Amino acid sequence: MKKLLLAFLLLTALSLQVFAQEVDTVPIPINNFDLKLKRSPLPSRVGALDFKPIKMQAALVEAKVNYWKTKTSVGININQAAFSDNWAGGGVNSLAIGGLVNYRAEYSKESYSYASEVILQYGKVKNKGQLQKKTTDRIFWDNKAAVQLSKNWYFFASLNFESQFDAGFTYTKDAKGKEIEKLISNFMAPGYLTESLGFEYKPNKFFSTRIGTGTARQTFVLDTNIYKTNPKNFGVPVGKTFRNELAFQIVANFEKEIFENVTLKTKYNMFIPYDNFGHIDHRLDIGIIAKINRFMNVSITGVGLYDRDTNSKIQGSQTLALGLVFAFPR
C-alpha cells in the first residue's frame, strides 16, 4: 500500500512539473472576457489640439572678418661710457644711441595678397674729442601685390624705395691730429626707386623668392656736388640727378625661429642690368635676434654689398646691439 501511494505521488509531481513548463505556451482567447482597465490618474484632454506657429526673428551676429595683419616693432639701443681723468686703465668718454622702427602690414583674401614693410634705422656715436659719427642710417619701404597661380607660385608686382636720413662722411686727420670730415653721401644721394614684375616662389611661410623678369631701377643723386668727393657719383652721370636701368632681379627672403627665442632673418638681392650682364650688383642682409624677455633682446646684424657704381670692392658692415624692443600688437 505504501509503494502504491509513493508511486501516485511521484506521478502527480511529474504531471505538475510538465504543466508548469507548458502553461506559458497555451493560448487563451480573451475576446469574450469582460475586462475593465483601471483609469489613469493622469489628467487627460478631450478634443483636437490646436498648434499655432510662432514667428521668431533671426538673431544678427555682428562679426567682421579682418583680412589685415599688422605688426610694429620699436627698438632703442643706448651705450654709454665715462672715465675719471685719473683712470689708469685709459678710455674715452662716449655715448652711442640707435633707434629702429619696423612696420609690416599684410592683406590676404582668397588668391590675392598685399604686403608692405617699412624699416627705419638711425644711430650715432660721440667720443670725447672726436666728431660725431653715424653707426647706422637707412630708409627702406617695400610694397608687393600678388595673385596666386598655383600652390607655390604667384604673379607679383612690387615697388620699393631706399635711401638714408643724414649726410655720410669719411674721416681723416690733419697734421695736428684733428679730424676732418669729407661728405660722400646724403639724403637722396643716393636714393633708389625700383619697380618689378615677375613670379614669386613661396613653398612655405618662412622662405620666398621673387624672380623679377621686368625690373626698372631709378638711381637719384639730388646733391649735384657729391661727385667732387665721390667720383663714381653712384653711377649717375655728372650734372644729372637720376639714372634709369632695366634689369633682371632676384630677391630671396628667409625668416624663421631657428632656436627657442632666436630668429634668423636674411635677405639677398641680385640686380643684373640688361645692358650689361657682367655688371651684377649683390646685397646680403643677415640678422640674428635673440629675445631675452618681453622688452629686451640682443641682435647682431651684418650687410655685404657689391656695387661697382659705389665701390669696386665688397663693402661690409656689422652691428651688435642690446636694447629695448616694444612690439605691437603683443
Closest C-alpha to 135, from 111, 112, 162, 169: 169
> Who has greater pLDDT, 139 or 327?
139
What pLDDT is recorded for position 176? 84
Element (H, E) at 221: none
Scanning the structure block, which residue is given the C-alpha cell 493560448?
27
- Give start and end residues of each alpha helix (H) in 33-192: none
Is the C-alpha dihedral spanning 318, 320, 326, 328 positive or negative?
A: positive
Place 274 in a pLDDT band, splitting at 50, 70 and 90: very high
What pLDDT is recorded for position 161? 98
What pLDDT is recorded for position 44? 66
Backbone angles phi, psi at 241, to 5 degrees: -110, -10
**Position 184: which residue type?**
I
Percentage, residues of the chain above pLDDT 90: 65
Q: Where does 68-328 sit in CATH, by number? A: 2.40.230
Query: Within 10 Å of residue 124's Cβ, how many Cβ atoms?
Result: 16
Query: Within 10 Å of residue 119's Cβ, how many Cβ atoms?
Result: 17
Q: What is the pLDDT of residues 305-317, one digit of tens each?
A: 999 999 889 999 9
Q: Is 110 helix (H, G, I), strand (E, B) or coil?
A: coil
What pLDDT is recorded for position 90? 81
> Who has greater pLDDT, 129 or 102?
102
> Who has greater pLDDT, 50 or 257?
257
Q: What is the mean pLDDT of residues 16-33?
A: 57
Q: Are 115 and 104 in contact (CB under 8 A)?
A: yes
Distance CA 256, CA 208 (A): 12
Place 294 in a pLDDT band, splitting at 50, 70 and 90: confident
Task: Quote the mean pLDDT of the chain.
Answer: 88
Q: Is 292 helix (H, G, I), strand (E, B) or coil?
A: coil
Q: What is the pLDDT of residues 40-60, one digit of tens each?
A: 666 666 667 677 788 888 777
What pLDDT is recorded for position 19? 47
Radius of gyration of the chain (CA): 43
> For residue 25, what is the DSSP state?
G
What pLDDT is recorded for position 68? 94
Instruction: Report CA 305 to chain centroid distance, whole Å.
Output: 25
Range from 10-14, 83-87, 158-162 that averages highest in pLDDT: 158-162
Distance CA 58, CA 95 (A): 66
Q: What is the mean pLDDT of residues 103-132?
A: 94
> For residue 189, what is the DSSP state?
B
305-323 burial, b for 16+ CB within 10 Å, e for fewer? Answer: bbbebbeeeeeeeebebeb
In this predicted structure, the answer to whether residue 8 has a pLDDT above a threshold of 50 is: yes
Helix%, strand%, coil% for the chain, nearest 5 = 10, 55, 35
**Position 251: which residue type?**
V
Closest C-alpha to 164, from 246, 247, 224, 220: 220
Q: Are 289 and 265 in contact (CB under 8 A)?
A: yes
What pLDDT is recorded for position 285? 96
Distance CA 234, CA 219 (A): 8
Place 36 in a pLDDT band, splitting at 50, 70 and 90: low
